[in-house]
Amino acid sequence: MQTTESSQSEASLHEQVQAVLDRIRPAVQADGGDVELVDVTAENVARIRFHGACHGCPSSTMTLQHGIQRAIRDKVPAIQSVIPVA
């Protein structure tokens, strides 16, 4: 039973993070990029992937730390951190 609750919790976190990304996506796309939620780990770490102009952009670290991570952690406090993956 605990595994089912854990799976539901993880799915719920995934959906919550996805909803935040969906809200901020238009601003990222306006700059020629995009952001994808890869997964949410068991440790409540959201793993994201940058696309388009965001991939390799020197400002993507600032965008991640001051924009995306802040927005996600404000709306989904259970998320411990947000990290980019290749």
Greater confidence, 13 or 53? 13
Which residue pairs, CB below 8 angstroms and at least 24 apart, start in 70-75?
71/20, 71/23, 71/24, 72/17, 72/20, 72/21, 72/46, 75/16, 75/19, 75/20
pLDDT band for position 3 (cuts 50, 70, 90): very low
Return the closest-CA partner of residue 80 out of 50, 49, 42: 42
Band (pLDDT 50/70/90 cuts) for residue 9 is: low
Q: Which CATH superfamily includes the segment(s) 2-84?
A: Fe-S cluster assembly (FSCA) (3.30.300.130)
Per domain, the residue ranges of the chain are 2-84
The string of pLDDT tens digits covering residues 28-83 is 899 898 999 999 999 999 999 989 888 777 877 777 777 899 999 999 999 999 99
Q: 3-state DSSP call for residue 35?
A: strand
Render pLDDT for 21-43 as a digit per residue (tens, 0 to 9): 999 999 889 989 899 999 999 99
